[in-house]
Structure 1
C-alpha cells in the first residue's frame, strides 16, 4: 500500500499519521484489489479511538489497567476507554420477559451440536508450495471425476487417499463442530446427506474430497438450558448499540478529517 496516496487522519486537531493508519490496516480485511477498504476501516478505528480517548481525558479519568490474563494487563489507553464507557453508558438490565420473548421467536434456533458421519479422500500437499499444490489438486480432481457417487464407490476410491483412514474406506467416523479444520467444516456444512463435495477442498493438509454419509441434527434445547446464552447475547447487543450511539454523539460534535465514521 502506498502511504503517500492516503492522508493523515485529524480528529479535533489531533493528527494520526498516515503511517499509523497503514500499520493499523494490517488488522483489517479488504479485497486484495481494493486496499482502500482496509485503509478506511483502519482510519475509522483510529478516529473512534481518538474520540474516546479525548473524551476520557476531558472528563479527567485516570487509567487503572486490569489484568486480562496472568501477567498481561491492559494498556493505559485501553483502561481509559473502558473507564469512559463504564461511566458514560447506561445499559438497562435484561429482563426475564425479554429473554423469553427472544427465545419464543424461534425456539428451534437453539440446538445441541449436530453430528456428521463423514468420509474423505486426501491428496496431501504443502499448500504454500505452488507446484506441489497444483499437482495434488489435479490428482484430487481426477479422483473426484472417477467416483460413482455411492458409498461403495467412494470407499474404493479412498484406497488412493494419503490419509490413514484409507484403510477404512476413508471413513472418519462421527464429527462435530470444531473437530476438523475450518475449511473442511465449512465445505461439510454445505453438503446434503449422501452428498460429495463438488470440487476438491483445500486445507492446510492438502486437497480433500468429502462425503457426508449421514447427519444427526442437533436436538432443540429447553428454554432453561439456553436462557444464559440468550441473556448474554442480548446484553452484548445492548452494549454495542449504546456504544455506537455514544460514539455517534461524540462524532457529531467533532471535527474529523481523513476518515469517515459511516458504515463501511
Structure 2
C-alpha cells in the first residue's frame, strides 16, 4: 500500500503551510483546468510524478503549470528542491479540491455559477479566436483604407476667437470708422491681456462683437481647417489666423470683405496624413474586431433561433430591486 499524503492541520495563525496553500491556489488560478476532469489524467500525458488518492498528476501537467507562470516566477523553480516545493503546493491544492468534492461543494450554487461564467468566457474566447484566425486579405484592407480616408488624413486645424465689426467694403465711411474702433479696442485688450488670469479679449468680444453666432461664447469659432475658415470669413482672415503660432497670441487688425476682425489663437491641432502602410496595423485591428463581433452576433442569433424561449412579463414586473425606488408600471392603452 502506498503511503498516504497528508496535509498538516492548519494552525490558528499564518504559517509556512498556510502560505504554501495560498500560493498553490494562486498558482492554480493562473492555470488551465481543462486537463483535469473527474480526477482523471488525460492520455499520453507523460510519466506520473505524483499520485494523490485516485488522482494521478503527470509530469506534463506540472510542466504546464510552471509554464503558465510569469518568467520571474518560473525562474524560482529551476532546481530540484524548488521543483519539489512547487509540486508540494500543487499536492496541497489537489487535497483541498478532493475534500471540497467530498463535501459536495461541486454542486454549491456559487461554485456552479462561477463555473458557468468560466465556460461562457471560454466559449466567447473560442468563437473570437476562430473568427480572427483567418488572415485578412490585402485587398480588403486597401478597400477599407480607400473608403475611410478621413480617418487617416486630416488637415491641420486651429481654434480661434474673433471680435467682428461689420463693415462692408462698399461702405468706406463705416469701414474707416470700424477700423479705427478696432485699433482702439485692440490696444485696450493688449493692456489688459498681460494678466493671464483675465480674459479681456473674450469679455470684450461678448460685449462688442457683431458676429451673433460666436458673440455669446467670447468669439470662439471652435476648431476649423483652412478650408472651413476661408469659406466662412475669407482668405485674408484665414492667413492671419494661421499665422498666429502660440496659444493666447493676438493678431493685428484684419480687414475682410465682410468687415474688421480681431483674432486670438486658442490652440492648434496638427494635421495627419497616414499612408496605407502606416495605417495598415490600425485597419487590421479594426477589421479583426468587427469579425469577432459579427461572429458573436451570429452565434447568438443562431442559438436564439434554435431555442424555445418564453418570457413571463407579468412575473418579470414583480421582481423587486433591492434598494431601488419602485416605479409605477406604464399604463397600457385600452383596445
**TM-score, normalising length from structure 2?**
0.32
**Higher RCO structure, 1 or 2 (CA under 8 Å, sep 6+):** 1
**TM-score, normalising length from structure 1?**
0.41
